[in-house]
Structure 1
Amino acid sequence: MRILHTSDWHLGRTFHGVDLLDDQRAALESIADVVAAAGIDVVVVAGDVYDRSVPSAGAVAVYDEGLARIRSAGAQLVVTSGNHDSPTRLGVGSAFAAAGGLHLRTSIAGITEPVVVSEGDTSVAIYGIPYLEPDTARRDVGVETARSHAEVLGAAMDLVRADLAERRAHADVPLRSVVAAHAFVVGAQAGGSERSISVGGVETVAASTFSDVDYVALGHLHSPQEITHEVRYSGSLLPYSFGERSDHKAVWILDIEGHAPVRVTRHDLPVIRGLSSLTGTLDELLTAADFAAAEEHYVEVTLTDAIRPIDAMRQLRARFPHAVHVQWAPPEREGGLDYRARVRDRNDIEIVEAFVEDMRDAASDAERALITAGLTAVASEPEEILSQRSGEITEVAASA
C-alpha cells in the first residue's frame, strides 16, 4: 500500500497581493505526476485545502481540477478540513463524492468512520480528524470541561483508538492505521506564514497524543518536518512567506505492508517560482550581474540608498517583474537614531532639520528658510488665532 501525505494547499491565497492560482495549479499537477509515477494508492490531504472559509470561484476551480488530475492518476483521496476551511462548505456532497474515490472528513461525526483501503494482504484504516476548536468541539468529543487543543484532540484520538481496536478484533488481515489531523505539535517549527489556531486556549499538543497508530499525517505548519518517525508534517504546497524561501516543499510517501514497520520517503516537489530577498542600492539592483538569478523570482528588496529613490518599485519591476515588496533602509548615520539623546539641548529648528536629514538628506538653504519661517510663524501666533485655525482644520476634516 502506498500513501502520499500532503497538506496546506491554501488555494486562493495571495502573496503580497499577487494571485497564486496559476502556481497552485502547477503544484497540484506535480503531485498528480508523483501519484502516477510512484503508483500511489491514496493521497491524504491534512487540512487547509483553501485559504479562507469562503473560497473564490477561481480557488474552487483549481481545487476541482487538482482532484480530477490526482484521481485520474490512479489514487483515491482522503481530505480533512483545517482551521482555514469551512467544514460545511468543504464537506458538501461527501456521500456522493466517496463513490468516486474522494473521501471528505470534515465533521466530528466522521472521526470513527475511517476510509479502509485494502491491497493484497494489507488493509489500512485512514482516520480523518478535522480541525477541532475547543469551544465548539468539546461537547461532541465528550469532554465538556476541555479548554485546550490537547484536551479535545486527545479525546478524539481516544475515539479513534477504541474504534481501531474494535475493527482489528474482527479483521481477517493485518489492519494498519493512519490518522490525518490539523494541529501544532510540541517540538515542531513554524514557518512564519501560518495563522494561529489558538482562540483563548493552549494551541500546542504533544506528539504522544497520537500514540498507538502507525502514521500521523499532520497539517498546519508549512515546513516539511519529522517530529517522530511516525508523526510528520508535509508542509504547504508552496512557500507563502519570504521566511520560507529556503524550504524545499515536499510530500511524504508511505509504504505499508503486513506487519512491517512503515517506510517513509520524502519526495521534493519542483520549485514553481523561487523567492529572493535582495539588498543594495537601486542602481546596484538594476545593473549588477550578481542579481541575475533572481530575475524570475518573487522578490522583496531592501534599498540602501542614502536618499530614498522615487518610484523604486516601477524601476525594479523592469528587471524583476515579480517584485512584490520594497523597503528603504538607508545607511545608519553616525550616532544612530537615538532621538531622545539627539534632541537634548537643541532648539526646534535644529530638531526639524536633523529629522529631514535622517529621513532623506541635509536640507537645502531654501528648505532651511521654510522650516525657520514656519516654526517662527507658529511660535509667534496668538493663542486665539491658533485655536481658530485648529477649529477650521477640524471643520474641513469633518466635511471631507
Structure 2
Amino acid sequence: MKKANASKSKATIVHISDTHLGFKAYRYLDKNTSLNQRELDNYNSFKKSVNKILEIKPILVLHSGDLFDTTRPSNYTLDFAIEQFRRLTRAGIKVIVLAGNHSTPKISEQSHIFKIFRHFENIYPLFKGKYEHLQFDDIVIHAVSQSINEEIFANELKKVKKLTLPKKNKHILMLHGALSGFKEFSMSEFNELNIEPSVLREEFDYIALGHYHGKEKIKQNCYYSGSIMPLTFSESDQEKGFLMIDLNTSSVKFEQIESRPLIDLPTVNAQDKEIEQIEEELAKNIEKTPTGSVCRQIVINLNAEDTVQIDKSLLNKLRSKCLHYQFDPKNKDEPDTQSLSESIGNLEQEFVNFLNKTDTKKKNIFQELGLNYLEKANETN
C-alpha cells in the first residue's frame, strides 16, 4: 500500500472524469496552433477545469478514467496533461488518476502510458487492472482500473465487496465502467467493462464512477461525474463539468464548465411540405444559435429527389455561422441508423466476434495483430 500525507484540516475532494484529451472531430483546424479545433476545445475545457479546481483548493482530485482518448496520445497531448496536473500538484493538490478503457492498451505487449506519471510527485496513476489502494492520512482510496477482460474485472470487484472498511477512515471507491443492467450507462464500446450494482456499497463515503459521459447520481454516495465537454450529439443536452464532495458533510456540488455549444437542432419533418417550407424551417432553427457552434440538423421523411432541391446557397449560409453544420436528411424508407449501429457494434468488437466464430489455432495472435492495426488506423484518422 502506498501512503502519503494529506492535510486533515479540510475534506473537500474533486471528482472529474472522461476528459478524453486528444479527442478529434471534423476537419477544422485552429489557425493559431494548427490543432484540430475540437481537440483544442477539449484542452480549453480541461484547462478551465484546472483553473476552477485551483480556486476550490481540494485536498485530492480523483480522475475516474479515460484521461486520454487513445492509448497512444500525441506528444502535445501528453505534455499538456502533465503540465495541467503539475499546476495542481504545485498547489499542494494530490491527483489520483484511474485508467479507463480508452487509455488502456488492447494488447498485452503495449506498455501503459500511465507509467510516465510515476515519475511525478503527488500524481498517483492506477492502471494495473486489479484492486489497488492508497492512503492519505485518514482517507483511503480503493480502486480497480480497466482490466484485460470482464472475468478478471469481476474477480477484482469481488475483493471490493469483501473489504473491511474501518469507520476511523474515510473510504473512497474509484471504478470505470458501465453499470450492469442499465443500458443507458453503456457507451457501446469495445472492452467496456460492467460494474455490478452490489459493489457500490453504502459503507463507502464516496464512489467515483467514470465511463458514462453524463452527470448522474446513482446512489446517495455514488456518482458519475460525466465528461467535461460534449463529444457527441447524444450529449448535446447534458451539463458538463465536475463534482465537489465534502467528505465531512457528504454534500456533493456540481461545477459546470462552459464550452463551445454542441446543438442538436429541432428535427424538421418534411412530410407533405414544399421545399420552400422546409428551407424556412432550416433557417429559423439556426437563427438564435450562437456563432461558431457545432450543429446537427436532422430532416425526416425527405426523399433523395427533394434533398437535391434544397437551396445549396442556403445550406452554405447556415454552415458559415457554425464551426460545423451537419445536414442529416433521412428518407422514411431508410433503416434507423442508431438501431443499426447498436446491432452491428463497432469495428473492433465485430473483428473479435468474427474471430470467436473461427476454429483457427492462432486466434489469439490474429486478435492481437488485428486490434493493433485497427488502433493505429484509428489514431491516424
Which amino acid is 1:155 matched to? Answer: K
The partner residue of 1:101 within 122, 126, 143 is 122
Aligned counterparts, 1:64-83, within 5 A = 64-83=82-101
The partner residue of 1:238 within 229, 239, 247 is 229
Which residue number in structure 2 is paired with residue 347 of structure 1?
none
Cα shift at 1:313: 9.5
Which residue number in structure 2 is paired with residue 180 of structure 1?
174
Do the aligned partners of 2:178 and 2:186 also contact (CA within 8 Å) in 1? no
**Count of matched residue positions in the alignment of Structure 1 and Structure 2:** 297
Which amino acid is 2:178 matched to? Answer: F
Aligned to 1:15, what secondary structure does the other structure show?
coil
Which residue number in structure 1 is paired with residue 341 of structure 2?
none
The structure whose Rg is larger is 1
Counterpart check, 1:251 vs 2:266: no
Aligned to 1:226, what secondary structure does the other structure show?
strand
Aligned counterparts, 1:266-345, within 5 A = 266-277=254-265, 279=267, 283-284=279-280, 287-288=283-284, 291-302=287-298, 306-308=306-308, 309=310, 315-316=316-317, 318-329=319-330
Cα shift at 1:288: 4.0
Cα shift at 1:194: 5.5
Do the aligned partners of 1:79 and 1:104 also contact (CA within 8 Å) in 2? yes
Distance 1:291 1:187, change over 3 A: farther
Percent identity (aligned): 16
**How far apart in 2 are the matches of 1:46 and 1:276?**
28
Aligned to 2:112, what secondary structure does the other structure show?
helix
Which amino acid is 1:44 matched to? Answer: L
**How far apart in 1 are the matches of 2:311 and 2:217?**
46
Cα shift at 1:75: 1.9
Cα shift at 1:274: 3.4
Which residue number in structure 2 is paired with residue 389 of structure 1?
none
Aligned counterparts, 1:8-23, within 5 A = 8-16=18-26, 19=36, 20-23=38-41
**What's the C-alpha RMSD, in Å, of the aligned pairs?**
3.2
Gaps of 5+ in 1: 139-148, 169-173, 339-400
Distance 1:39 1:101, change over 3 A: same
**How far apart in 1 are the matches of 2:118 and 2:75?**
23
Which residue number in structure 1 is paired with residue 102 of structure 2?
84
TM-score, length of structure 1 as denominator length: 0.65
Which amino acid is 2:251 matched to? Answer: R
**How far apart in 1 are the matches of 2:314 and 2:171?**
52
Which amino acid is 1:292 matched to? Answer: K
Distance 1:329 1:205, change over 3 A: closer
Do the aligned partners of 1:36 and 1:74 also contact (CA within 8 Å) in 2? no
Which residue number in structure 2 is paired with residue 152 of structure 1?
155
Do the aligned partners of 1:157 and 1:210 also contact (CA within 8 Å) in 2? no
Gaps of 5+ in 2: 1-10, 29-35, 106-110, 269-274, 335-381
